[in-house]
Each structure stands twice: as structure tokens, then as C-alpha cells.
């Protein structure tokens, strides 16, 4: 099985590790990593760690097989089609938000290509945003 998961993965933390470990139980894990330019345009601020820094940490994680840039930005279909995964995995925090709108695909688009979308249980109590708040003291 080939697993696609996308994200920013800034200030790599245990929530990221848990997600990637679950993905890895399913098969080979490809991370589509958001570029600095896309993050700046989408979040309105640059990440603490650059693309190169975030990529090198992900590549050192035993649960990650390959890191590729999320080339299409808000249109994730560009990179998904390149990866051509069996499964698209995302943290379950997205089950309460419009992940389809965020990613730029529809259920029909997934079905037509045979891509399964799965939600991995979200790790409560830690996130990049939460770590930044902790560092404020």
C-alpha cells in the first residue's frame, strides 16, 4: 500500500509522530510537504522552520519513506496524482472541517481514481500552534 499524507509539519512533534506511525502501519509513507510560499499565502505567516529544515526532520523519521513538495498548493490533486497513492491519510481534526475544500478534490474525484480517504486519530494536547503558545511562557 502507498500512503499519501500532506501537511506543514513545522516544529515536528509527537502528534506528527503518532500520525506518521499509524500511516506507516498501513504501508509506504509519502509526505507531501507544504512549501514556505504556500504556507505564507495560506496562513499569512511563514513557518518557524524552512521547507529544507522541515524536510530533513521528516526524512529522519523512521515512519517516513519519502518527502515531496506539495506542488499545487491549495490544489493538492497535482501532487496526489503524481504520487498515485492507495490511501490518503489525514488527522481526524480534519473530520470536523472541510478537508475536501481544503484539498481541492471531491468524493467523486477520489472514487473515480480509487483513492481511499482515512482519518487517523488526532493526538490531543499538542500542535505547532500549542508549542508556539508554550514558548511564549
Residues forming a β-bridge with 128: none
Residue pair 56/25 in contact by the 8 Å Cβ criterion:
no
85 versus 91: smaller Cβ distance to ligand CTP: 91
Residue pair 63/17 in contact by the 8 Å Cβ criterion:
yes
57 versus 86: smaller Cβ distance to ligand CTP: 57
8 versus 79: smaller Cβ distance to ligand CTP: 8
Could you confirm whether 132 is annotated as catalytic? no
Interface ranges with ligand CTP (CB under 6 A): 7-9, 15-16, 19, 90-91, 93-94, 122-123, 126-129
Least spacing, CB of residue 111 vs ligand CTP, in Å: 22
Which 3 state secondary structure label does DSSP give 46? Answer: coil
3-state SS of the chain: helix, strand, coil percent to 5? 45, 20, 35
Could you confirm whether 52 is annotated as catalytic? no
Least spacing, CB of residue 7 vs ligand CTP, in Å: 3
The H-or-E segment that residue 5 falls in is strand 2-7
Catalytic residues: 43, 45
Amino acid at each position: 500500500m502507498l500512503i499519501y499524507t500532506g501537511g506543514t509539519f513545522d516544529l515536528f512533534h509527537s502528534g506528527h509522530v503518532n500520525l506518521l506511525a499509524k500511516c506507516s502501519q498501513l504501508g509506504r509513507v509519502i509526505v507531501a510537504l507544504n512549501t514556505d510560499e504556500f504556507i505564507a499565502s495560506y496562513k499569512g505567516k511563514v513557518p518557524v522552520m524552512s521547507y529544507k529544515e522541515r524536510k530533513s526532520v521528516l526524512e529522519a523519521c523512521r515512519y517516513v519513506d519519502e518527502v515531496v513538495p506539495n506542488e499545487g498548493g491549495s490544489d493538492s490533486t497535482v501532487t496526489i496524482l503524481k504520487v498515485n497513492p492507495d490511501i490518503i491519510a489525514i488527522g481526524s481534526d480534519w473530520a470536523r472541517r472541510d478537508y475536501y475544500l481544503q484539498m481541492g478534490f471531491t468524493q467523486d474525484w477520489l472514487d473515480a481514481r480509487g483513492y481511499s480517504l482515512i482519518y487517523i486519530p488526532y493526538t490531543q494536547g499538542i500542535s505547532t500552534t500549542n508549542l508556539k503558545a508554550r514558548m511564549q511562557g
